[in-house]
Amino acid sequence: MIFDIYVIVILFVLGLVMGSFFMVVGSRLPKNESIVKPRSHCDNCGHILKWYELIPVLSYVLQFGKCSRCHAKLSIMYPLIEVLNGFLFSLSYALYGFSYEMIAFLIISSILILVFVSDFQYMIILDEPLIIGSVIILLLKLYYFGFNTFTRSIYSGLIMFVFMLLVKLFGDKAFKRESLGGGDVKLVTFFGFVFGVRLSFVSVVLGSFLAFPYAIFCSLSKKNREVPFGPFLILALLIVFIYMEPIKEFLNLFVYGF
């Protein structure tokens, strides 16, 4: 019990730090900026942050959400993303203990945060986290479940890739504009590696439902016609991952009759 709390606290702190790192990666890579240079700075006055101003959440609270030099407001996105990431990291252990599921959950939630940051800000889904995540997931499957599961996961990813590519090609023709981004196609390929084909389809359908209210809101407010689909897709992936067993049971019921 004490040990569990200890691990959860450690993971929470690690999650805060990684969340802060993901914010930098998700904000800079889409603009082709280096992750290490320039050092973190205030967007308003260029003030280079001192080490104690880089401590996740704490620095934001101690500075009352303002830059220490020019007093410009700092984005609330930073502490929010950091805390959310800390929560997800500790949730991984609380739900699964030390296991394949825990590591997979850590990878999925990290990609979720990165996709949130880059897709909402720039409508870009970064390749790097998806490639790294896919490789780690596939190697984990090879290690934990053996070669058959490994190859089946690769096939599932390829099937999802071809499926999404076809949807995109038909969609682009039908709507005469880009219907799905290339990033969405790659994202769902990652789903195939994680889940296999059936649960990937469930995630895509769920993601569409989750995106629907936001899409309506966007078209009503007429501010931005383009809706980032990625964050909703990966949120759906996380939900399906947590409720995998009941969803599988439901699918079996559906396929084999009541």
Which parts of this chain interact with Zn ion (CB under 5 A)?
Answer: 42, 44-45, 47, 67, 69-70, 72
- Minimum CB separation of residue 73 from Zn ion in Å reads 10
Residue with Cβ nearer Zn ion (70 or 139): 70
User: In angstroms, what is the minimal distance from the CB of 52 to Zn ion?
Assistant: 16
CB of 75 to Zn ion, least distance (A): 12
Give least dist CB 74 to Zn ion, A.
9
Per-residue exposure over 129-162, b if at least 16 CB sit within 10 Å of its own CB, e if not = bbeebbeebbebbeeeeeeeebeebeebbeebbe
Comparing CB distances to Zn ion, the nearer of 44 and 252 is 44
Give the whole-angstrom CA distance, residue 200 versus residue 202: 5
First and final C-alpha spacing in the chain: 41
**Of 66 and 131, CB closest to Zn ion:** 66
CA 125/CA 134 separation, integer angstroms = 14
User: Measured from the CB atom, is 31 or 69 closer to Zn ion?
Assistant: 69
**73 DSSP β-pair partners:** 66
Structure token digits, residue 235: 């949120």
Torsion of CA 40, 42, 45, 47, to 10 degrees: -50
